[in-house]
Amino acid sequence: MITRRRFIAISATLAAAPLAGLPGAAAAGMPDAIWTGTALGARASIRIDHPEAEAIAARVRTEIERLDAIFSLYRTDSAIAALNRTGALAAPPFELLDCLATAGAVHRASGGAFDPTVQPLWALWAEAVSAGREPSAQEIAAVARGWQGVDIAPAGITLAQGMALTLNGIGQGYVADRIASLLAEAGLGAILIDTGEIRALGAQPDGADWPVTVQAGPRLMLADRALATSAPLGTTFDQAGRLGHILDPRTGTPVAPVWASVSVSAGSAALADALSTAACLMPDAARVEALVAAFPGARVESLIA
């Protein structure tokens, strides 16, 4: 099975100060990494040009660890892992409720194409393909559920029997949004965060927009905006690269790749993340545009067949 691990990179500079004028600014633009490690199941690095860089980086690491304990499927002790294991989670963290609210909105706007309840289907496909076969229609029907089986309230979240959630189509973007807010509160105003989805707070220190090259697509310029790119065959279950990781909840099978990649920008990285994922299941450009247009301020940046 082919896997793709994301690399989380956080670069930031002191607001209202040009990078070249800051002590210790690297000739290439940013200093060496203050911290490298693992977060959200991916390699991560933090580069901050600020007089209190070490302290700010420590706050970012703490925030990443806190969010990891909510959203990570790599951890058995995370909030979402506990929910999936028991089918109920009392007094869920605000961040989980907030992320699921956005997921629900995109689910409704996409006619059910975006559905975090595909986790059991994903596990079924991963196990079957690893065994050298594809799951049968009966196996798919046995684990297919749907968003209607999720009950979300501040007092608790419950799942219908046999259900489990994945936030892999929205969670990375949500984490980028939270980190951007934390850094903005610390007074940093030239921020580029890459969690697999990109969140820019402000422009570059020289005032220019951030240049971003999307997967298999054009170079885009970004400022005060988030960008997410999804590709149905960017990660596949099989070595041949035929069975993509984005599943259609309506059929229980990998989506037939109409699009090589879809890039969507929005004011929120979580929203851009979810919309780009949902767009991969849309059959034509008109449907993609209609889906994205349902969210004010969001727009399609690249649509490659």
Residue 254 pLDDT greater than 90, yes or no: yes
Quote the tokens at residue 114: 């975006």
Percent of the chain with pLDDT over 70: 88
Q: How many domains does the chain have?
A: 2
pLDDT recorded at residue 18:
32
**Both 113 and 24 in a single domain?**
no
Same structural domain, 129 and 29:
no
pLDDT for res 271 = 98
Rounded (5°) CA angle 192-265-244 = 100
Among the candidates 212, 227, 242, a domain finishes at: 227
SS3 content of the chain, % helix, strand, coil (to 5): 35, 25, 40
- Model pLDDT, residue 81: 97
Mean pLDDT in residue range 214-221: 77
Instruction: Tell me the C-alpha distance between 167 and 80, whole Å.
Output: 9
Q: State which residues form the domain around 26.
A: 7-73+172-227
Given pLDDT bands bounded at 50, 70 and 90, which one contains residue 5? very low
pLDDT at position 124: 97
Write down the pLDDT at residue 39. Answer: 66
Q: Domain for residue 281, yes or no?
A: yes
pLDDT at 17 over 90: no
Report pLDDT digits (tens) over 267-292: 999 999 999 999 999 999 999 999 99
Percent of the chain clearing pLDDT 90 (strictly above):
64
User: What pLDDT score was predicted for residue 12?
Assistant: 74
pLDDT at 20: 28
- Rounded average pLDDT over 129-148: 95
pLDDT at 48: 80
Over 50: is that where the pLDDT of 139 sits?
yes
User: Residue 1 falls within a domain, yes or no?
Assistant: no
Q: Give me the mean pLDDT over the 145-171 stretch.
A: 95
CA 113 from chain centre, in angstroms, equals: 16
Question: Is 60 exceeded by the pLDDT of residue 196?
Answer: yes
In terms of domains, do 200 and 62 share one? yes
pLDDT at 80: 97
Is there a domain that residue 2 lies in? no
Which is more confident, 151 or 4? 151
* Residue 98 falls inside a structural domain: yes
Same domain, 14 and 158: no
Q: Which of 183, 199, 227 is the last residue of a domain?
A: 227
Q: What is the pLDDT of residues 77-123, one digit of tens each?
A: 999 999 999 999 999 999 999 999 999 999 999 999 999 999 999 99
For residue 268, give the CATH number of its domain: 3.10.520.10
Q: Give a yes or no: residue 62 inside a domain.
A: yes
Looking at residue 253, its amino acid is: T
| Domain shared by 160 and 238, yes or no | yes
Better-scored residue on pLDDT, 43 or 80: 80
Q: Specify whether 32 is located in the same domain as 149.
A: no
53 versus 146: the higher-pLDDT residue is 146
* 159 plus 254 within the same structural domain: yes
CA distance 78 to 56: 24
Same domain for 150 and 183, yes or no, is no
**pLDDT beyond 80 at 205:** yes
Q: Are residues 268 and 155 in the same domain?
A: yes
pLDDT of residue 16: 37
Q: What is the mean pLDDT of residues 18-47?
A: 54
Position with higher pLDDT, 136 vs 189: 136
User: Which pLDDT score, from 0 to 100, does residue 128 have?
Assistant: 97
Do 158 and 89 belong to one domain? yes
- 60 and 191 share one domain: yes
105 with 139, same domain: the answer is yes
